Structure 1
Amino acid sequence: MLGDLTKRLVNGIVLLLGTLTFFLLPVGGKTTAQHLVAIFSTKPAREAAVAFTAAARQVAREVAREIEHARKSAAAPDAKSAPR
């Protein structure tokens, strides 16, 4: 039990130090967080985000259409198994 507590405490300290480093320690002229903001706020990055969003919506529509088709197929009685 004390070992788990120690492990959690060490993990918390490592997470805290990593977070502080990410936001406060400059790498070059900016922190890592500032570098990421600069990269993802460029015009090509915004265009890529729009394209990925459109593609994800299209995939979601197709999946929903297939699920609806499968539900209708499962709900409809099978013509081959119906008695004659």
Structure 2
Amino acid sequence: TVGSALADLEYYDLLFCPAAGCTATFESNIELSAHIAANMHVIVDDVPRTTNDTARIHLTEILRSTSTRSRSEAEAILRH
């Protein structure tokens, strides 16, 4: 049923690389730290982009800002 399918879904808090232009995402701070230490950023080149590329980049930026805002709000709640 739909209800049990929704109950089976897991929530993942994605972490985004803070480097300008990097679109890499991670499931843990350890993965993010290793990525930053290795300087293995995923930077989109200035090559012609498809509509799908543009949409993916836009979605990544939206998720990055939402994730950052949500994390900040959650941390503020936990501090009080």
With the length of structure 2 as denominator, give the TM-score of the two structures.
0.38
**The structure with more helix, counted as a fraction of residues:** 1
The structure with higher relative contact order (CA 8 Å, sep 6+) is: 2
Structure (1 or 2) with the larger CA radius of gyration:
1
TM-score by length of 1: 0.36
